[in-house]
């Protein structure tokens, strides 16, 4: 199925959770990551159970340190 991640179209398998998507993309820690789907923030505790749908618009934000 096709979704949008930070305004780039991407193909993923059907029945894919937010957590599975982040594991595939980050290949590391999701620490400091925030996820919004269709303009709604998805709490971290819902990542394993929130299933993605065709044409979802996902925004991934990674917090960084600096100044």
pLDDT tens per residue across span 12-44 = 999 999 999 999 987 567 778 899 999 999 999
Mean pLDDT of 6-10: 96
* CATH label of the domain that carries residue 22: 3.10.20.30
Whole-number pLDDT of residue 31: 79
Q: What is the pLDDT of residue 28?
A: 61
Tell me the residue range of the domain where 45 lies.
Answer: 2-62
- Report which of 43, 40, 37 is spatially closest to residue 58, judged by C-alpha positions: 37
Percent of the chain with pLDDT over 70: 94
Phi, psi (rounded to 5 degrees) for 54: -55, 140
Please check whether residue 67 lies inside any domain of the structure.
no
State CA 61 to chain mean position distance. 9
The pLDDT, as a whole number, for residue 67 is 61
């Amino acid at each position: 199925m096709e979704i949008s991640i930070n305004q780039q179209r991407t193909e993923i398998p059907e029945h894919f959770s937010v957590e599975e998507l982040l594991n595939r993309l980050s290949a590391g820690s999701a620490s400091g990551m925030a996820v919004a789907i269709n303009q709604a923030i998805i709490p971290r505790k819902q990542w394993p159970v929130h299933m993605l749908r065709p044409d979802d618009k996902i925004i991934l934000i990674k917090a960084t340190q600096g100044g």
